[in-house]
Amino acid sequence: MAVASALRLILGSSSASRRQILSEMGYHFTLLSADIDEKEIREDKPEELVVALAHAKADAIMAKLRSNGMMKEILDSQETTLLITADQVVVHDGVIREKPSTPEEARKFIKGYSESHAATIGSVLVTNLKSGARKEGWDKAEVYFHKIPDEVVESLIEEGNVFYVAGGLLVEHPLTSPLVEAIVGTIDSVMGLPKSLTEKLIKESLEEP
């Protein structure tokens, strides 16, 4: 968790959960969002999809840095700058679920988890902006739920946060956390940024010559 003074981190994400997790890991970082159309990138396997999306986000952010002149500053600096991008999908009954786009879709997703389970597949990509080297990986976790009452489903939809997370899956929410029967894996993986994988990839990126 020790952070070298010559290390600068950029988190390429607008996810509040990922910001929280990276802060918990003891890192200081700046934020940039990729603003890509994720639905333009399609892969059959969830592991391949989330890794491809993390690469697409890194490409988009690097293009932003080049266009606004920040990339030149990064390359001229004595600091090593690492860009972290990530993506996540939920798999339920063998079907890949991304962020729900309508209340009807969110309702279908959340009701489907009731007395059932879902898997989260999440990628992490660390790009060394000086060398261009990329280190990638993915992690999986499973969440088992008790019965989710209809009033909880409707409250979550009305609140709106379900539309910003893969599969509308909010395990850390006060309404849903008491309904989680078990998690196989880690809560940080379910929330979108597996700590151990992220730490491993940061270390590997710093070992690059």
Q: State the DSSP code for 94.
A: T
Q: What is the pLDDT of residues 164-181, one digit of tens each?
A: 999 999 999 999 999 999
Confidence of residue 22 (pLDDT cuts 50, 70, 90): very high
Q: Alpha-carbon distance 178 to 138, whole Å?
A: 27
pLDDT per residue over 93-144, tens digit each?
Answer: 999 998 999 999 999 999 999 999 999 999 999 999 999 999 999 999 999 9
pLDDT higher than 90, residue 89: yes
Show which residues are catalytic.
87
- Inter-residue contact 19 to 31 (CB < 8 Å): yes
DSSP state letter for 162: G
Percentage of residues in the chain having pLDDT higher than 90: 81
Three-state SS at 42: coil
Does position 4 have pLDDT exceeding 50, yes or no?
no
Is the model's pLDDT at 9 over the cut of 80? Answer: yes
Cα–Cα distance for residue pair 149/147, rounded to 1 Å: 6
Smallest CA-to-CA distance from 35 within 53, 59, 57, 52 is with 57
Nearest-angstrom CA–CA distance, 122 and 72: 31
Note the pLDDT of residue 78: 87
